[in-house]
Structure 1
Amino acid sequence: MTDKILVIKENKCKCIFLNPDQHLLTKIKVDGCQITEGIRCDYLILDHCHNEYC
């Protein structure tokens, strides 16, 4: 996706990613049992430089 603003909502939480240059972003929904230790997330966002944002 190349949206300028990416909004992720879960229950009462909301996270907003700004993407003014409309770079390619990939949003991955992570199943609750996939990550069981350490830092966990419901969604994983990857940017065009392969940076990860949970």
Structure 2
Amino acid sequence: GAQAVRHCLARARGEMPDPRPWFEAADTFSHGLELPAPTHHSEALLFAARRLL
């Protein structure tokens, strides 16, 4: 009701903390991408690297 609206507005104005938990990223990230063939050109490697980001 009205109490929920007041709390929502207070959080939006920064007067109350957001009750949701903070997102915490992992300490490390490891992922791979197998290329279909040996690659000797930087453009192909950049294309593959962008897919990992």
TM-score of the superposed pair, with normalisation by structure 2: 0.26
Which one has the bigger strand percentage? Answer: 1
Between structure 1 and structure 2, the one with the greater Rg is 2
More relative contact order, 1 or 2 (CA 8 Å, 6+ apart) = 1
TM-score of the superposed pair, with normalisation by structure 1: 0.25
Which one has the bigger helix percentage? Answer: 2
